[in-house]
Amino acid sequence: MEFSEEKMNEIYARVMQKATTDKEFRQDLMKDVNKTIEKLIGEKLPEGTNLKVIESDPNYNATFVLPNLSTSEMDLDVLDNVAGGVSGLIIISVCAVAIGDGGGTICGADMGTGK
Protein backbone atom coordinates (compact mmCIF):
# COMPACT_ATOMS: atom_id res chain seq x y z
CA MET A 1 0.00 0.00 0.00
CA GLU A 2 1.29 3.46 -0.90
CA PHE A 3 -0.14 6.82 0.06
CA SER A 4 -1.16 9.15 -2.73
CA GLU A 5 0.54 12.50 -3.17
CA GLU A 6 -2.66 14.13 -1.85
CA LYS A 7 -2.56 11.95 1.29
CA MET A 8 1.13 12.75 1.88
CA ASN A 9 0.37 16.47 1.50
CA GLU A 10 -2.39 16.15 4.11
CA ILE A 11 0.00 14.40 6.49
CA TYR A 12 2.63 17.04 5.80
CA ALA A 13 0.19 19.83 6.67
CA ARG A 14 -0.90 18.13 9.90
CA VAL A 15 2.69 17.48 11.00
CA MET A 16 3.68 21.06 10.20
CA GLN A 17 0.77 22.54 12.09
CA LYS A 18 1.35 20.45 15.20
CA ALA A 19 5.17 20.75 15.14
CA THR A 20 4.88 24.53 15.05
CA THR A 21 3.24 24.72 18.47
CA ASP A 22 3.74 21.40 20.30
CA LYS A 23 7.18 20.94 21.89
CA GLU A 24 6.45 17.38 23.09
CA PHE A 25 5.31 16.37 19.58
CA ARG A 26 8.56 17.74 18.15
CA GLN A 27 10.57 15.72 20.67
CA ASP A 28 8.56 12.59 19.81
CA LEU A 29 9.25 13.18 16.11
CA MET A 30 12.97 13.29 16.84
CA LYS A 31 12.79 10.02 18.83
CA ASP A 32 10.59 7.96 16.48
CA VAL A 33 9.19 9.84 13.49
CA ASN A 34 7.20 6.96 11.98
CA LYS A 35 5.50 6.01 15.25
CA THR A 36 4.71 9.66 16.04
CA ILE A 37 3.18 10.32 12.62
CA GLU A 38 1.19 7.07 12.76
CA LYS A 39 -0.21 8.17 16.12
CA LEU A 40 -1.09 11.57 14.68
CA ILE A 41 -2.90 10.22 11.60
CA GLY A 42 -4.42 7.18 13.31
CA GLU A 43 -3.13 4.65 10.78
CA LYS A 44 0.01 2.81 9.75
CA LEU A 45 2.39 4.31 7.22
CA PRO A 46 2.96 2.22 4.10
CA GLU A 47 5.30 -0.77 4.54
CA GLY A 48 8.92 0.25 4.13
CA THR A 49 8.34 3.94 4.85
CA ASN A 50 11.52 5.33 6.37
CA LEU A 51 11.39 8.98 7.41
CA LYS A 52 13.98 11.28 8.93
CA VAL A 53 13.41 14.59 10.68
CA ILE A 54 15.83 17.42 11.20
CA GLU A 55 15.30 20.46 13.34
CA SER A 56 16.24 23.92 12.17
CA ASP A 57 19.41 25.26 13.74
CA PRO A 58 19.55 29.01 14.36
CA ASN A 59 23.32 28.91 13.78
CA TYR A 60 22.77 28.30 10.06
CA ASN A 61 21.06 30.36 7.39
CA ALA A 62 19.78 27.33 5.50
CA THR A 63 19.57 23.56 5.56
CA PHE A 64 19.76 21.81 2.22
CA VAL A 65 18.24 18.39 1.74
CA LEU A 66 20.29 16.79 -1.01
CA PRO A 67 18.66 14.59 -3.64
CA ASN A 68 19.70 10.97 -4.07
CA LEU A 69 23.02 10.54 -5.82
CA SER A 70 22.53 9.44 -9.41
CA THR A 71 25.02 6.84 -10.52
CA SER A 72 23.57 6.04 -13.92
CA GLU A 73 21.37 7.59 -16.58
CA MET A 74 17.69 7.76 -15.68
CA ASP A 75 15.05 6.38 -17.97
CA LEU A 76 12.22 8.71 -19.00
CA ASP A 77 9.78 7.33 -16.37
CA VAL A 78 12.22 7.97 -13.53
CA LEU A 79 13.04 11.42 -14.89
CA ASP A 80 9.32 12.19 -15.16
CA ASN A 81 8.79 11.17 -11.52
CA VAL A 82 11.61 13.42 -10.37
CA ALA A 83 10.33 16.36 -12.41
CA GLY A 84 6.71 15.59 -11.51
CA GLY A 85 7.23 15.80 -7.79
CA VAL A 86 7.48 12.23 -6.52
CA SER A 87 11.00 12.80 -5.23
CA GLY A 88 10.06 16.38 -4.34
CA LEU A 89 7.23 15.06 -2.22
CA ILE A 90 9.63 12.98 -0.20
CA ILE A 91 11.93 15.95 0.28
CA ILE A 92 9.00 18.16 1.21
CA SER A 93 7.86 15.60 3.73
CA VAL A 94 11.26 15.57 5.33
CA CYS A 95 11.36 19.33 5.33
CA ALA A 96 7.86 19.49 6.75
CA VAL A 97 9.11 18.07 9.95
CA ALA A 98 12.16 20.30 9.93
CA ILE A 99 10.22 23.55 9.95
CA GLY A 100 10.45 25.04 13.39
CA ASP A 101 8.68 28.11 14.63
CA GLY A 102 6.79 29.19 11.51
CA GLY A 103 8.63 32.51 11.41
CA GLY A 104 9.67 32.36 7.78
CA THR A 105 11.53 29.08 8.16
CA ILE A 106 11.46 26.62 5.25
CA CYS A 107 13.24 23.25 5.42
CA GLY A 108 15.16 24.50 8.38
CA ALA A 109 16.26 27.56 6.46
CA ASP A 110 16.30 30.86 8.29
CA MET A 111 14.82 33.23 5.76
CA GLY A 112 16.41 36.31 7.30
CA THR A 113 13.99 36.56 10.21
CA GLY A 114 16.69 35.89 12.79
CA LYS A 115 14.66 33.05 14.26
Note if the pTM is more than 0.75.
no
Which pLDDT tens digit goes with each residue over 57-107? 889 998 888 888 887 665 666 666 666 544 444 444 444 444 444 444 444
DSSP state of 54: -
Cα separation, 27 vs 114, in Å, equals 23
CA separation, residue 11 to residues 5, 61, 97 (Å)? 10, 26, 10
At a CB cut-off of 8 Å and minimum separation 6, what does 51 contact?
A: 33, 34, 37, 45, 93, 94, 97
* Integer Cα distance of 44 and 37 in angstroms: 9
pLDDT digits 0-9 by tens, 19-62: 999 999 999 999 999 999 999 999 999 999 989 898 888 899 98
Question: Domains of the chain: which residue ranges?
Answer: 5-98
| Phi-psi category of residue 79: left, alpha or beta, with phi > 0 → left and psi -120 to 50 → alpha | alpha
Residue 80 has a CB neighbour count (10 Å cut-off) of 11
